[in-house]
Amino acid sequence: MIMAISPEMQGRVEKIEKLIEEGYTLKKTSLGFIDFRNSVGKRVGVVGYNSPAGLSWIGLFFAPAVCTQMKEWSYFYVNGCVLVIASIFSGVIGFDLDGAAGTAVSISYGFMIPYLRKLNKDNGTIDMPKVNAIVVGILLAIVSSVPASIIDIAFAFLAA
């Protein structure tokens, strides 16, 4: 199956390609984050209101499935690590941060997905079929949240 890029996503990828033609550089860090720099080497923020490619709404709401479809596994280890950190802080301060942490990861990937799509397009990555991506994405999202759940349970026992 070839890469499934919607017209909206294609427009975002074309914006990135135009900037690259102007001397911008696009790389993925070893942790799976986006390193986008302008023609003088200054880092350009890709997450937030001023993101050159904007927000992928599908990526925001369905990040596990989209990342699985693109074979972008960094989402799951970033999600797992952020949830573990949030669970530890939640246990210590007594205020649940897990929902906010998960939302922050989804928002971040909603902004990063156009750049990841561009990199995958350049690398010739073949998409996973959509149904498989949805099922596998849900399973991987559950697996990535297990360590945080164990920490939450441990803190609940300590508080009891």
Segment 74-79 shows an average pLDDT of 95
Please, are residues 147 and 84 in contact by the beta-carbon 8 Å criterion?
yes
Mean pLDDT (whole number) for 14-22: 94
Q: Pick 2 or 112 by higher pLDDT.
A: 112
CA–CA separation, 153 and 74 (whole Å): 26
DSSP 43: B
pLDDT score at 2: 56
Residue with tokens 């149904």: 131
Q: Which two tokens stand for residue 151?
A: 């920490």
Instruction: Please tell me the pTM assigned to this model.
Output: 0.88
Q: Contact, 115 vs 26, CB < 8 A?
A: yes
Structure confidence at residue 74 (pLDDT): 93
In this prediction, residues 9-23 reach a mean pLDDT of 93
- Annotate 90-124 with DSSP letters as a single string: HHHHSS--HHHHHHHHHHHHHHHHHHHHHHHHHHT
Tokens of 117: 């799509």
Write the DSSP symbol of residue 73: T
pLDDT value for 7: 85
Contact between residue 12 and residue 81 where contact means Cβ atoms under 8 Å apart: no
DSSP 67: H
The single-letter code of the amino acid at 24 is Y
Mean pLDDT of 33-57: 92
Q: Over 80: is that where the pLDDT of 92 sits?
A: yes
Mean pLDDT of 83-92: 94
Q: Are 148 and 80 in contact (CB under 8 A)?
A: yes
Q: What percent of the chain has pLDDT over 90?
A: 79
Amino acid, single-letter form, for residue 54: G
